[in-house]
Copies of this chain bind each other. A is one copy, B any other.
């Protein structure tokens, strides 16, 4: 049984095929950034407040026009049927029960409409070579009632994930990118020295996307637009200028540019650059309710949580995991003397003397 969100990883490792475990856990290159994401969270300390007369903190989160139970969204993650027979449907329904938004990946293994049918969702867009498909995906997401469009801009191509290459990782035949037209793809072909999922994205993703394309998307998109994968404050400022409603400070969980700065270390300058002009979310390395507080105290409006929820999905424990995460957030708020997220933002944030790994 799990007593903290971190407990699911070893449990999942025990039940998953090694190549699937690696696909989820892994990062690109030497996985420096995977490590940095964790180290940077450990390095942060909080200074709790006392005697605030608080019995029950309220972690509810107002973002992009909606109020949620927690300052947490499920990060967009491809092919969730790898982890559970019902895949996205199962995790999305749990998110809905927990009162947090679910982000549907372009590469979901269940059609987006079905997922949006079970949970209030955001839709994550990868820019595909065929622009008509881009337009159609946006329309489908809007029609399905998605509350926001999150366009991911840090995947011109997939980062070289050496584990997948070594594992010749490919999708099993019954799992496919259900939102796309071609469902039998390179992603299914195990080839020595190749990650089949990387080969697939190389064939369908447009690498050469520009700010001009984003302006076009902005004009096209009637719902809030969030840009995911920003680390440089100059780019964050540009996002505001083209009318984005939000940005996600993210290094894609260490899966794209290895050696990229830890997201949480990149957060401050981005927050300073955009001020109140757009919403700033963060992902990469959030592993506990405490980390959620650390991110919010460091200036994030809220966070996306990735891998931990896939580990819970793999062991059929998503409701428990989300309950635990909510509990960790509320406990940390109570112990830090924070009635609400605004109070969390007022906490003093420090830096640990020396590395302490749990």
Residues of A within 8 A of B (CB): 1, 3-4, 6, 28-33, 35-36, 39-40, 42-56, 153-154, 156-157, 159-160, 162, 165-166, 193, 207-214, 227, 229-232, 234-235, 238, 251, 256-262, 265-266, 288, 290, 293-294, 327-328, 331-332, 334-337, 348, 350-356, 358
A52 to B207, CA, bound (A): 10
Nearest to A266 among chain B residues (CB) is: B47
In the complex, how many angstroms separate the beta carbon of A307 from the nearest chain B beta carbon? 16
Q: Are A55 and B353 in contact (CB under 8 A)?
A: no
Q: Are A51 and B261 in contact (CB under 8 A)?
A: no
A36 to B265, CA, bound (A): 20
Q: Which of B43, B331, B336, B337 makes the CB contact (< 8 A) with A353?
A: B43
Nearest to A48 among chain B residues (CB) is: B257
Nearest to A164 among chain B residues (CB) is: B3
**Contact A211 to B51, CB < 8 A, known contacts A29-B4, A162-B4, A356-B36:** yes
Q: Which 6 A-B pairs have the closest CB atoms?
A: A53-B210, A30-B358, A35-B356, A55-B208, A257-B335, A45-B261
Q: Are B32 and A159 in contact (CB under 8 A)?
A: no
A193 to B1, CA, bound (A): 8
Q: Which residues of B contact A50 (CB under 8 A)?
A: 153-154, 227, 229-230, 232, 235
Q: Which residues of B contact A207 (CB under 8 A)?
A: 54-56, 334
